[in-house]
Amino acid sequence: MRETPNFGEFYPKSLVPINKDDLLIFLEKVTDIECCDNYSHWLIALEGREMNVGENYYHWQIVVFPAEIDGGFDYKYPLYVSSFFLSIDEALDYITEVEEIANQGQLFTIAG
């Protein structure tokens, strides 16, 4: 289970339909199966966190959550959380790669 996202620096990017292979990997990772009944998509988002409190410098990560078709999601059970990027430009480049991987139904290859 994951801590609450920093919704002040949280940017949903896309909703991608869940592929069968990705769904199987997700269900293996989650112990609370009841949480997953209505999910049909992945919400791919960019999240920033302050590097040091009060300094207003951020590092960024890509997070993939299970989501409903209308975009509702459960932050407690992400399928994938990337390492942090010091540059938002690098994070934006990587989020495009993650979207392509998700569209191919291959998120399980990076979510391990």
| pLDDT tens column, 7-60 | 678 999 999 998 887 877 777 777 665 666 678 899 999 999 888 887 888 999
Strand order in the sheet with 80-81: 10-17, 41-50, 58-67, 80-81
Are the C-beta atoms of residues 47 and 6 closer than 8 Å to each other? yes
Q: What pLDDT was estimated at residue 19?
A: 86
pLDDT at 75 over 60: yes
- In the chain, where do the E strands start and end? 10-17, 41-50, 58-67, 80-81
pLDDT at 100 over 70: yes
So where are the chain's domains?
7-111
pLDDT at 65 over 60: yes
pTM: 0.85
